[in-house]
């Protein structure tokens, strides 16, 4: 069977695929005759993807995306064709969670003050991680990794998901429609929501009206889930003390954007995925495909990282 490798694969990846009878084509070398024969798309290419979906004889059965979010895919068409989509959820959970912890410790341990201080003036108004309960919106792989890291510091961590169903590693989990009790006892909020129509603009003026001197607001989810103007207003009237954003709207942010100008805001420019061994934004992606391939070849089943195409995550 044919696999379209939109993202680069190594020689050892190729050998692994060959063992299961999978042949690799790339966007540069794929021919018009091969397009309907593609069974697996390893990452998504918009141009070739459209050609595949437009072909009534397409054999496409499986798309492994290069990202955790899948909001840029033609989800309806894929669903109608019975294509299974698996995402990269969990792939960068460890680096992203470490960036979240770096944010919390940066502000908690006073590094934000010391980073630019060029004279002796001690600042001891510091917090332990355990003194700053954390509320994480999103209890998937990234949320769970954040929770594990917070707990390792003896901290308290609450989660929010659609239904409020318990998730291992969180002290308590609340539903997205009834999280206020958790918010009232939290000092840090982490926006780890996926980008869906329901989450768009979720963190807006109405949300920020509910907090007062929230120590830190973090966004490592999607830029679309946060109303940045409302966040800036909340900072300006002390509802929120500090903010750390990995994702923003738009990206890149234009010169002189107010987010660059607020000393209370730390921006990491969509690089929370950074690591060395599995370098690059999709480094390590093949390991997810690798887990699903044997059962897919054997009987067509795919178990890991399957996206619900109705919910979009």
Give contact residues for its own copies (rule: CB under 8 A): 94-95, 98-99, 101-103, 105-106, 108-112, 114-129, 131, 149, 152-154, 251-255, 260-261, 266-277, 281
Cβ atoms of 7 and 42 closer than 8 Å: yes
Cβ atoms of 52 and 35 closer than 8 Å: yes
Q: For residues 67 and 161, which CB has a smaller minimum distance to its own copies in the complex?
A: 67
Reported residue count of the chain is 313
Q: For residues 212 and 269, which CB has a smaller minimum distance to its own copies in the complex?
A: 269
Instruction: Please tell me the number of Cα atoms within 13 Å of 211 on its side-chain side.
Output: 30
Place of tokens 């299961």: 20
Cβ atoms of 108 and 130 closer than 8 Å: no
Q: How far is the CB of 268 from its own copies (least distance, A)?
A: 5
Cβ atoms of 68 and 32 closer than 8 Å: no
Q: How far is the CB of 216 from its own copies (least distance, A)?
A: 13
Q: How far is the CB of 259 from its own copies (least distance, A)?
A: 10
Q: How far is the CB of 95 from its own copies (least distance, A)?
A: 6
Instruction: Please tell me the number of Cα atoms within 13 Å of 246 on its side-chain side.
Output: 23
**Residue of 129, 194, 134 whose CA lies nearest to 159:** 134
Q: For residues 172 and 275, which CB has a smaller minimum distance to its own copies in the complex?
A: 275
Q: For residues 117 and 198, which CB has a smaller minimum distance to its own copies in the complex?
A: 117
Q: For residues 101 and 293, which CB has a smaller minimum distance to its own copies in the complex?
A: 101
Q: How far is the CB of 261 from its own copies (least distance, A)?
A: 7
The angle that helices 93-108 and 141-152 make with each other, rounded to 10 degrees, is: 40
Largest separation between any pair of C-alpha atoms in the chain: 72
Q: For residues 56 and 252, which CB has a smaller minimum distance to its own copies in the complex?
A: 252
Q: For residues 126 and 201, which CB has a smaller minimum distance to its own copies in the complex?
A: 126
Q: How far is the CB of 107 from its own copies (least distance, A)?
A: 9
Q: Is 154 left (phi over 0), alpha (psi -120 to 50) or beta?
A: left
Angle, CA of 169, 285 and 17, to the nearest 5° = 125
Q: How far is the CB of 91 from its own copies (least distance, A)?
A: 13
């Amino acid at each position: 069977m044919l696999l379209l490798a939109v993202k680069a694969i190594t020689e050892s990846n190729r050998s692994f695929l060959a063992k299961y009878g999978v042949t690799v084509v790339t966007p540069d070398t794929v021919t018009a005759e091969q397009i309907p024969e593609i069974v697996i798309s390893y990452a998504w290419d918009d141009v070739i993807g459209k050609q595949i979906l437009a072909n009534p004889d397409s054999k496409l059965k499986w798309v492994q995306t290069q990202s955790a979010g899948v909001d840029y895919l033609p989800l309806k068409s894929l669903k109608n064709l019975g294509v299974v989509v698996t995402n990269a959820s969990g792939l960068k959970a460890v680096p992203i969670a470490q960036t979240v912890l770096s944010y919390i410790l940066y502000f908690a341990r006073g590094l934000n003050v010391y980073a630019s201080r060029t004279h002796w003036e001690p600042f001891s108004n510091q917090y332990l991680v355990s003194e700053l309960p954390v509320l994480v919106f999103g209890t998937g792989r990234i949320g769970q990794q954040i929770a594990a890291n917070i707990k390792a510091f003896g901290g308290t961590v609450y989660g929010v998901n659609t239904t409020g169903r318990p998730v291992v590693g969180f002290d308590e989990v609340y539903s997205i429609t009834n999280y206020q009790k958790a918010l009232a006892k939290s000092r840090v909020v982490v926006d780890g929501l996926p980008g869906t129509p329901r989450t768009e603009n979720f963190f807006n003026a109405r949300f920020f009206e509910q907090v007062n001197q929230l120590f830190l607001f973090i966004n490592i989810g999607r830029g679309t889930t946060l109303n940045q103007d409302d966040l800036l207003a909340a900072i300006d009237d002390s509802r929120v003390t500090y903010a750390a954003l990995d994702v923003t709207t738009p990206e890149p942010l234009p010169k002189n954007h107010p987010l660059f100008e607020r000393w209370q805001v730390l921006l990491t420019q969509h690089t929370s995925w950074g690591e060395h061994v599995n370098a690059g934004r999709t480094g390590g992606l093949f390991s997810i495909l690798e887990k699903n391939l044997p059962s897919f070849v054997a009987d067509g089943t795919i178990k890991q990282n399957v996206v619900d195409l109705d919910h979009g995550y």
